[in-house]
Each structure stands twice: as C-alpha cells, then as structure tokens.
Amino acid sequence: MLISKFCKENFNVSLGELENKIGCALPSEYARFLEKYNGGFTPKTKWTGKNKSDIRGFLGIGISDDYWNLEEEIKHEKSNDLFRNSFLPIAKNSFGDLFCINVDDGEIWFAYHDNDKRIKIADGFAEFIAKCKSGSIGHIRTIEERKQGMIDAGVWHLFSEDMVEDWQKEIDRYSNMTQEEVAF
C-alpha cells in the first residue's frame, strides 16, 4: 500500500498522551505504523478483502486537519460510541465510513457511518495492510481537463465555481504529495 505520511513532529509525546487518554496501549502493529507514518493520505487505495472499499486516509496524531486527527475523531459521537466498545477509528473511506482496530485483540473492523453495523475484516493490522492495494497518483488533471471532461460527458450544466475551488484544492494537495510503500 502507498501512503503519503503525515508530519511526525512531537510524535512520541503525542502517542504516549493518546495511550494515557484512551486508557490502554495500542496494538503493537498499529503503534509501529503510527510511529513510522503517523497516518496519512492514501489516494487510489482499495481494501481488496471482505467488504471492498476505498481508503482515503489513515488518521494521525496531532494533525492540524481535524478530519484526519485521531484525537478529534474520538470526540465525535459515532467514534466515541465505537471506542466505548473498544473500537478505535484508524482510517476513513470516501463516504466517511470507518476502519477500526479493536484495542483489546487487534482485529480490524469496518463500521458504517450511517448505522451501527460493524463487520470484522481482518485478524490484525498487518493482514489488513497486506490487502490494501494502491496505485500511484500519476497525472493530476488540470482544471481545464476537468471542465472538458464535464463537457464530453454532457454534464456541463452541473458546473459551478465551487467545483473549481475544490478542484484547485485537490490539485494543490496531490501535486505536493510524496507516496511511499508501507513497510513494517
């Protein structure tokens, strides 16, 4: 799996603080992953095992973007409910569904964002990562290419200036991204 890791400034202090805050040590494979990558973006990544899904990114510690900040995610009602049952959110797909690790036994579970359904998908974090497949970012389409794509698809009437703003944010994010293979 390819990842564009998050900043790891003051990470060791943050990991210890997180474990104190949640009242338990993290499963060792997941803790090693956090120590090495601190989560990160995973564009063009798919979970290929049971309940196939994309994976947009892994949550990190001390991340300024609250959407990807593990500590902030635990504060959300859905994630807080999951955590009270030993499930720590670790990653998200494009729909906001969560990949969680059971802090008691290290199993990986998929939790839907819009209901209480959870499905076990892997016995451990390394098995989970092994079934994640990524493509490299490659060419990032320009705004002009995206506009032309909408015209070619016959959906130009859906175009808005807000789209251009979102496209530019995506272009900026992906053009500055460095991906590396996840290894333990």
Maximal C-alpha separation, the chain: 54
CB atoms within 10 A of CB 183: 9
The Cα 107–Cα 61 span in angstroms is 21
Same domain assignment for residues 163 and 89: no
Same domain for 82 and 65:
yes
pLDDT in tens, 19-70: 888 888 899 999 999 999 999 999 999 999 878 999 999 999 988 888 999 8
33 by Cβ neighbours in 10 Å (0-12 / 13-18 / 19+) ranks as: buried
- Beta strand pairing call for 53-54 and 57-58: unpaired
Task: Check: CB of residue 141 under 8 Å from CB of residue 149.
Answer: yes
Provide the pLDDT for residue 116. 84
Confidence of residue 10 (pLDDT cuts 50, 70, 90): low
pLDDT tens digit sequence for 57-99: 999 998 888 899 988 888 887 777 888 888 999 999 999 999 9
pTM of the model: 0.84
How many domains does one find in the chain? Answer: 2
Residue-number span of the structural domain to which 68 is assigned: 2-134
Would 27 be classed as within a structural domain?
A: yes
At 7 the pLDDT is: 85
Residue 5 has pLDDT above 90, yes or no: yes
